[in-house]
Structure 1
Amino acid sequence: MFQLSGLSFRYPDMDKSVLKQLHLSIGEGEFILLTGPSGCGKTTLLRLLTYVLRPNGTLAGEIFYKNQPIHLWSDKELTEEIGFISQYPEEQMVMPTVMQELVFGLENHGLSTAEMRKRVAELGHYFKIEDLLNKKTNALSGGEQQLVHLLSVLLLRPKVLILDEPTSQLDPVHATLVFQMLEQLHHDLGMTIIIAEHRYATLLRMCDRVFMLDEGTVCFTGNSREFLYQLAQSQDLRYDAYLPDIAHLYIKKTKQPVNNDIPLTVNEGRVWLKRVLPMGRRLQKPKQQIKQTEQIVSLNDVTFYHSKNEPSILNRLSLTVYKGDFYAIIGGNASGKTTLIEICLGIKKPKRGRLELFQQQLNKKTLERIGYLPQQPQAFFMYDTVEKEMQSMLNNNNEEIMIQMAKHFHIEHLLHQHPFDCSYGEMQRIVLACLLLRQPDLLFLDEPTKGLDPFAKDELGRYLTALHKKGLTIVMVSHDIDFVAQYSERVGLLFDGEITADGATKTILQDNSFYTTDINRAARGTALSHVLTVEEALQAWPEK
């Protein structure tokens, strides 16, 4: 289907090439997983494969599509053949309502009204989005935007589907649904699928081959187990972070790991753990006391809705965050998590209820003590270089602190680059570095791991933990349950407009079906039934 011969690419005003002499082929009907560190060239490669969406820069080498140089295909032919799902769904929305957005591409391709209605009905029923069809596109949550974007592309029935971080804004339930849909498209329709994804543990059992990019070249490739075995044998400790938790635990606790025995799924992990570990009795959930200190965030009976004719997004919600908390808010798409943060920041005003920050009503001085990472980091930037962005955040004009922060977040090589020329993960790190230069007392994070590779995510977690230990209060919205389990201390589950469960992280997440970790699901019925993370499993592993 695709053949790359000596493919290299360099962006304007950059000294180094993003892609360097790539030679690879992708067969018709293959399911390809593409992974690697943020900024390694994944998005660039995917856009070059569409060709219609190729970025500006210097291209060398050849891309063949169906044995023909891709530049010989017309744009119309390529848009009919190749569908592309961006990691920025909000940038793809062009129509005011969901229904209009879905049929926009179909109308441009000249389909009849009857055919359009049939296609929308078929996919709409599958994804259960009937309640979204008449909704305004600017009122959709990030996860809903991604689902609508995916559906609008699938309605065109492309031969190849290219996806760039399609689940970055989806909760665990909807992410699983998307992956299952991709598997069905692959098996039932023989569709060629090429997906770049950091949350790829579920995809490993589905894909035919994995390509891992690093510094513009393919560093590891093979089927899923071959890929994981290569990671395990690597001497570069960065790659440990790319091992899914169950595979990581198997490799750490098996004297001589066997390629074909590496568990890829929760069920395979459970079979292995029950074989090597003693049975464990069902443990009661630990009762951990919440340390109640000074109230930093207090919401009482807060209600919010867009209009009186629509259901309330938040419904008499009450929540208290104490000084020194690392509090995570989890819940499904469109449950109101981002709205909750926006109310705390004064971006949206509640229709009823009371909000206090630092035990006083919201005002200019309280806002100066707050840092906020929005779900779309592009909205943060105001200057034409990363260096200027960081300089604007310095309170004491001490540029040495800025350089140290840039090095800590591995963005020093980006200082003279325009923020919009950076990858999504790089933009996330730039915003976080800028926010922390202001030394806030309270930090709000809306999906902070979205777009981050596993190594960068671990680094972010360690850095947030260090800040938290120094007294920073952190409130985080996240779909990344593994990250929540490893780093947060308290969790609130937002459902039906209110916090329905609130407590210590282990208390809330243990024994759930979806809002828990793969390790916890796999270890049930063994001596490790209580653990949530690989680190906990390694520490609790029974000695022989």
Structure 2
Amino acid sequence: MKNQIEISHLSFAYPDGNTALNDVTLRIMPGEFVTLCGLSGCGKSTLLRLMKPGLQPRGSISGSVSISGREISAEPDVNSAAKIGFVMQDPEAQTVTDKVWHELAFSCESVGMPQAEIRRRVGEMACWFGLEELFERETSTLSGGQKQLLCLASAAALHPEILLLDEASSQLDPLSAQNFVDAVRRINQDIGVTVIAAEHRLEELLPISDRVIVLDCGRIIADCPPGLLADALPENHPMSRALTASQRVFRSAGGRGASPVSIREGRQNELCREYLRTHAENSPQEFTPPGDPLLTVKELHAGWGKTAPDVLRGASLKLYPGEIYAVIGGNGSGKSTLLKTISGILKPTGGRVKMRRNAVTAYLPQEPCLLFSKETVGEEAPREMLERFALDGLSDRDPLDLSGGERQKLALAKLLAGKPDILLLDEPTKGTDAAARSAMSRMLRELSAAGTAVLLVTHDAEFAADTADICGMLFNGAMINEATPAEMFRQNYFYTTPMSRLRRGIIEKE
């Protein structure tokens, strides 16, 4: 069988001189499912975009990219638009129409497809992706998970041969992310579409992947089946933290060679079972509130307009000095609305927000670019803060040219320069790799030890478990449960960490 994608000695540098890819050579067979991973800024998104005419970045390029034996630069735009589907990280950036049915039809209209064929494909996609009940809805009313599924369905309506996913599940809650990955798996296994997915969260993707490719500083450092990834990585490489829960336990138990990848494989592996039986989960010391709260939210109601229904419907919480409070919950549950109301961006329609007098608040939005106003990274934050986040080497770069993870770190560096008493973080780990998430967790613990109170909302259950003193679960606009992370994720059956799922299958039954 011939290679479907051939990349030969590909190098790319952006106009500012930053080298994103360095002599990348890669062959991908038809129908393969390939996961592309690496630290933030390693070149994943650049590599994907160089495979998609129309999205290719500006810069100097050498080497070649061929699809089905044809140089991609010679492929007509209409052919490449239909043949190669692309789903971005942010569904807002890819949703262009007002109605669900029109969004499904838009991609077909853009390539000049006959109306009868468009109607047939739109109906087929709506049925196959379970979008019938949303068919007449306005796209602005959809949750993040629904929008991302719509973007996938819109790309699939063109019957692509290749599907490129650029961290497409990174903004979704665990259940929405799993639903999205399940849809991608069906496209790959049931239809035979080649899938190349760039992703930081590997727990869902590695078990269904044929290959995993690791980029580091623009070079391929590993290309192997998922079960061999741990052995293929250089010793003590930061990407070791991104391995699945089963792989991490297997390595900790002394396992070498092919490792279990999925939760099911980990439960069935005797080495993993024995290790978990003899190594109890750490129980961190519970947080003791030091006096009165810095922030009190009581029976808060808020929405997005006078005629729109409230998103928050009686949410309440207290935040104390030095405490890290993580709000979890599904897409559309009101997490971001909660932070925007507390920060004063939205006005409450009921209830109240009370802060200690003269408390300094800093708010990190989901889209960190909203905080940038300067032309270079060096102008956005003091040098000591850039060094703290390992961004000092990017001082001359335009903030908008940074990777998603680098933008998150720059925005946080800028906020911390103001020495806030209360730090409000909306998805602070979005677009960041496992090493950066671990570093952010340590940094937040240092801030809390110095008295800063942190209120964060996150879809990243593992980050919440590792970082927070207390977790609150927001559902339908109200806080339905508050508990320590250990208790919260032990109680939850679906909305929990991979390690909790792995332990539940072994510890509680034996």
The answer on whether the counterparts of 1:161 and 1:191 sit within 8 Å (CA) in structure 2 is: yes
The answer on whether the counterparts of 1:277 and 1:527 sit within 8 Å (CA) in structure 2 is: no
What is the identity, as a one-letter code, of the residue corresponding to 1:195?
A
Among 282, 297, 300, the residue aligned to 2:298: 300
* Root-mean-square deviation over aligned CA pairs: 2.6
Separation in 1 of the partners of 2:103 and 2:276?
54
The answer on whether the counterparts of 1:329 and 1:337 sit within 8 Å (CA) in structure 2 is: yes
Give aligned pairs, total. Answer: 504
Among 1, 8, 16, the residue aligned to 1:5: 8
Q: Which moved more, 1:325-334 or 1:287-296?
A: 287-296
Separation in 1 of the partners of 2:391 and 2:498?
32
Q: Which residue of 1 aligns with 2:486?
A: 506
Task: Note closer, same or farther for the CA distance 1:286–1:54 as it changes in structure 2 (3 Å cut).
Answer: closer
Is 1:350 the equivalent of 2:348?
yes
Q: Which moved more, 1:38-47 or 1:238-247?
A: 238-247
How far is 1:131 from its partner?
5.3
For residues 19-418 of structure 1, the aligned pairs below 5 Å read 19-113=21-115, 115-130=117-132, 132-231=134-233, 234-254=234-254, 257-260=255-258, 262-272=259-269, 275-276=273-274, 291=289, 293-306=291-304, 310-358=308-356, 366=359, 369-390=360-381, 402-418=382-398
C-alpha offsets along residues 298-356 of structure 1, whole Å, 9 cap, x if unaligned? 22222223457654311122222222220001111111110111111111112122121
For residues 446-485 of structure 1, the aligned pairs below 5 Å read 446-485=426-465
The answer on whether the counterparts of 1:330 and 1:493 sit within 8 Å (CA) in structure 2 is: yes
What is the identity, as a one-letter code, of the residue corresponding to 2:182?
Q
What is the identity, as a one-letter code, of the residue corresponding to 2:239?
Y
Aligned-residue identity in percent: 35
C-alpha offsets along residues 237-294 of structure 1, whole Å, 9 cap, x if unaligned? 423323222211211112xx2423x1111112122257525869x99x9996763632
How far is 1:173 from its partner?
0.5
Separation in 2 of the partners of 1:170 and 1:484?
15
Is 1:442 the equivalent of 2:422?
yes
Separation in 2 of the partners of 1:58 and 1:431?
29
Task: Note closer, same or farther for the CA distance 1:124–1:406 as it changes in structure 2 (3 Å cut).
Answer: same
Task: Note closer, same or farther for the CA distance 1:288–1:113 as it changes in structure 2 (3 Å cut).
Answer: farther
The answer on whether the counterparts of 1:144 and 1:334 sit within 8 Å (CA) in structure 2 is: no
Task: Note closer, same or farther for the CA distance 1:191–1:377 as it changes in structure 2 (3 Å cut).
Answer: same
TM-score (norm 2): 0.92
What is the identity, as a one-letter code, of the residue corresponding to 1:327?
Y
The answer on whether the counterparts of 2:364 and 2:411 sit within 8 Å (CA) in structure 1 is: yes
Separation in 1 of the partners of 2:252 and 2:421?
39
Flag structure 2 segments of 5+ consecutive residues without an equivalent: none
How far is 1:383 from its partner?
1.2
Describe the SS at the equivalent of 1:18.
strand
How far is 1:139 from its partner?
4.9
The answer on whether the counterparts of 1:286 and 1:507 sit within 8 Å (CA) in structure 2 is: no
Separation in 2 of the partners of 1:125 and 1:292?
55
Q: Which residue of 2 aligns with 1:533?
A: none
Separation in 1 of the partners of 2:363 and 2:43?
28
How far is 1:141 from its partner?
4.6
Separation in 2 of the partners of 1:158 and 1:278?
43
How far is 1:528 from its partner?
8.0
What is the identity, as a one-letter code, of the residue corresponding to 1:33?
T
The answer on whether the counterparts of 2:266 and 2:273 sit within 8 Å (CA) in structure 1 is: no
Q: Which moved more, 1:197-206 or 1:265-274?
A: 265-274
C-alpha offsets along residues 422-476 of structure 1, whole Å, 9 cap, x if unaligned? 1111111111111111111110111111100111111111111111111110011
C-alpha offsets along residues 389-424 of structure 1, whole Å, 9 cap, x if unaligned? 11xxxxxxxxxxx22321221111111110111111
Describe the SS at the equivalent of 1:12.
coil
What is the identity, as a one-letter code, of the residue corresponding to 1:4?
I
What is the identity, as a one-letter code, of the residue corresponding to 2:42?
C
C-alpha offsets along residues 72-121 of structure 1, whole Å, 9 cap, x if unaligned? 11111100100111123222232233333332222223445554444444
What is the identity, as a one-letter code, of the residue corresponding to 2:236?
D
The answer on whether the counterparts of 1:207 and 1:224 sit within 8 Å (CA) in structure 2 is: yes
Separation in 1 of the partners of 2:237 and 2:329?
33
